[in-house]
Structure 1
């Protein structure tokens, strides 16, 4: 058994910027919603059987309480923002299991569901479908990361090759270099190369010697970097906490919940309202193969 876990929020953004606008008769933009739904059916057509889709039901999360500048959705254009509830409604009608996050984020749901799925002896591989670097920390064992757009599957070796650190150090790495997409800056002067060099040797923030004279790796500007880390160590810990996937996010209890068994009765009505009638035939055709 193979499990696909989809970052629905990422997919919605991707299709919003990749597809032309499509406005319904009542003035609602639905282009990205239709694109995501079609992509999920394509996943089934390609052979997927167990699929879970995580979404950000609301953009703010517990991380905004930890760090006020953290992303809050204020810059998202209304044509995209208005589709968040629509894509959830359409995906559920299509018969997919959706994890709509409120306190947590979609990334947390992906990590939580991956942990549950990987613990099942029947599961051979779990694919977290997103290019988001945060999810690299969840890779290992049966869990892989899949960039569907590029067709790239990343395991432990690929994560280490890309970032210079193993999955277990990804959150520490982000604590140093920051993540502009999520709205936290990291520490001044710490870039990808310096963070990778130090963390490849020491693993976690707490294990980096306070005095760079004690570092047994060569890093350009080590004295200044060490001073910054000492002075802003609590900031680094905060940023690491923000970057850490919370696997207690509510998702599923059993991997069997993720098996796609066909569309729900309300699909025709929902699809008609969203000008997505062509999806009904595709979903019915897939369901017929299950009979």
Structure 2
């Protein structure tokens, strides 16, 4: 059965502000702020990797003073502060980045991004496309339906119809009615004084809609609440109109125009260099001919669940690997990640392996020869993680490997992807273990607690410069 095409519609303003506040104090040598551009680009690449959409568009808001909602209610969003200067100067670079990535950008005069997104989402879903709206704006939850979900990447939460009901207590189509009663402080929508979200949800559940609540307001419990509903009935209707997302815009865009395309490297690479994004540049620079690049990372706690993540690159090809160990240290997972990457190669290869583990990189580059000459590599119990070092030594002899260290969590695209793969494998593996564990047998009534001697804490120490083993090993 042919899989339905997938469309991602990204709320540009929401993504930009999240990037701006998520990455701080980053600038070029010349002093140009780049934190928002960097965070936006990194999150966008992560989204493309996770969602792998067939079509994609980033939708921006026009100046809020020009939108139709301001004409209906001039105070609408008047409480919003203007964009900070150090963010405003980065927006043109974000647009340049999207142009170089060949990602469609949309903006409709007089309408907000939400209206453009709703119109495209409904049109695409009706044509059988699976739509993911990427935004943290709760107003967009009203367009969720079969075929349309909302993804909040900040909360790592995907909302369908059931999740909207759980969030608001009403179905998606009644979210505007609820906001008409409760208002929305973020958008300066007044609602009805004294009515919050929970009360609004209870009223709609009881009476059916905002109009029904207003019609039967004389039956609402509480004198002040009844009076407020009657006094502010028209304000509630205006608030619902402000909160209702338009899905009937006469957009001329065709979905073929939103298809993903290859980046324009001739403009992208110079832009990345201008912004001094060396770590991101690697994401678009294929390995040299005949060279396999392996990026690896491990995640684990002392004698606890662990995961590993690996990315292999050869020419234009790329492959991900990940796995889980129920009992491992972070050092073992770093070594195991490199082993799994090298094992995935068929036949001897010229390889450059990248890792943020100095334990791995220095071990293979500096210490391994000494261990082999002294016999410690094969002497039983002479080295911590000896079994893994032996496997790495054999794989290093089979392939022609260069070992390279990269600084962890410093914006390196593939290192951060490997870290995410490793952590996800660790978390999912740990959950599977818990789910598969049998129910513990109840203790006999006569059993008494047994006091065990305390286990001495083991502190981390520096590596011994001579052979790379922890001094406390």
- Do the structures match in fold with TM over 0.5? yes
Deviation sequence 1:189-210 (CA, Å, 0-9, x none) = 1111210011123343222253
- Once residues 230 and 275 of structure 1 are traced to their aligned partners in structure 2, the CA distance between those partners, rounded to angstroms, is 59
Rounded Cα–Cα distance in structure 1 between residues aligned with 2:64 and 2:274: 25
After superposition, the Cα gap between the structure-2 partners of 1:169 and 1:4, relative to the gap in structure 1 and judged at 3 Å, is same
**Aligned partners of 1:51 and 1:289: how far apart in 2?**
22
Seen in structure 2, the aligned counterparts of structure 1 residues 36 and 250 have a Cα distance that, compared at 3 Å, is farther
- Residues 116, 274 of structure 1: CA spacing in aligned structure 2 closer, same or farther, 3 A cutoff? farther
Q: Which residue of 1 aligns with 2:224?
A: 224
User: Partner of 2:260: helix, strand, or coil?
Assistant: coil
The aligned counterpart of 1:273 is 274
Q: Tell me the distance in 1 between the aligned counterparts of 2:275 and 2:68.
A: 32
Q: Is the 8 A contact 1:114 1:143 kept in 2?
A: yes
Q: Structure 2 CA distance, aligned partners of 1:250 and 1:271?
A: 36
Q: Deviations over 1:84-135 (max 9, x none)?
A: 33322211221111113442112222212211221223x2x21111121101
Distance in 1 between the 2:109 and 2:273 partners? 28
How do 1:234-253 and structure 2 match up within 5 A?
234-249=234-249, 253=253
- For 1:109, the equivalent position in structure 2 comes to 116
The TM-score, its normalising length taken from structure 1, stands at 0.86
Task: Give the TM-score normalised by structure 2.
Answer: 0.55
Give the superposition deviation at 1:77. 1.8
Question: In the alignment, what sits opposite 2:449?
Answer: none
Q: 8 Å contact 1:116–1:253 — kept in the other structure?
A: no
Task: State the Cα deviation string for residues 211-266 of structure 1 (Å, max 9, x = none).
Answer: 43446xxx5x2x32232222211111111111111223466643332221111343
- RMSD of Structure 2 on Structure 1 (CA): 2.6
Question: Match for residue 119 of structure 1?
Answer: 126
Larger radius of gyration: 2
Shift of 1:284: 5.6
Distance 2:214 2:192 in 1: 17
Are residue 38 (structure 1) and residue 42 (structure 2) matched? yes
Q: Which residue of 2 aligns with 1:153?
A: 158
Contact 2:218 2:226 in 1 (8 A): no
1:51 and 2:52 aligned: no
> Contact (CA 8 Å) 1:20, 1:31: kept in 2 or not?
yes
Aligned CA distance change for structure 1 residues 84 and 177 (closer, same or farther; 3 Å): farther
Q: 1:19 to 1:188 in 2, by over 3 A?
A: same
Native 8 Å contact 1:128 1:143 kept in 2: yes
Q: Deviations over 1:48-100 (max 9, x none)?
A: 33222112243432222222222255443221233333322211221111113
Structure 2: distance between partners of 1:155 and 1:32? 29
The answer to whether the 8 A contact 1:5-1:53 is kept is yes
Unmatched 5+ residue regions in structure 1? none
Q: CA deviation at 1:154?
A: 1.1
Q: 1 or 2 for the larger relative contact order (CA 8 Å, sep ≥6)?
A: 1
Note closer, same or farther for the CA distance 1:230–1:288 as it changes in structure 2 (3 Å cut).
farther
User: Counterpart of 1:208 in 2: which secondary structure?
Assistant: helix
Match of 2:60, SS state, is strand
Q: Pairwise mapping of residues 1-291 of structure 1 onto structure 2 (< 5 A)?
A: 1-46=5-50, 47-60=52-65, 61-72=67-78, 73-121=80-128, 123=129, 125-214=130-219, 219=221, 221=222, 223-249=223-249, 253-264=253-264, 265-276=266-277, 278-283=279-284, 288=316
Q: CA deviation at 1:40?
A: 1.1
Q: Is the 8 A contact 1:262 1:283 kept in 2?
A: no
Contact 1:166–1:200 at 8 Å: present in 2 too? Answer: no
Tell me the secondary structure at the aligned position of residue 151 of structure 2.
Answer: strand
Greater displacement, 280-289 / 196-205:
280-289
Indicate conservation of the 8 Å contact 2:214/2:233, yes or no: no
**CA distance 1:32–1:255, change in 2 (3 Å):** same
5+ residue gaps, structure 2, are 287-312, 319-473
Shift in CA distance, 213/242, structure 1 to aligned 2, threshold 3 Å: closer
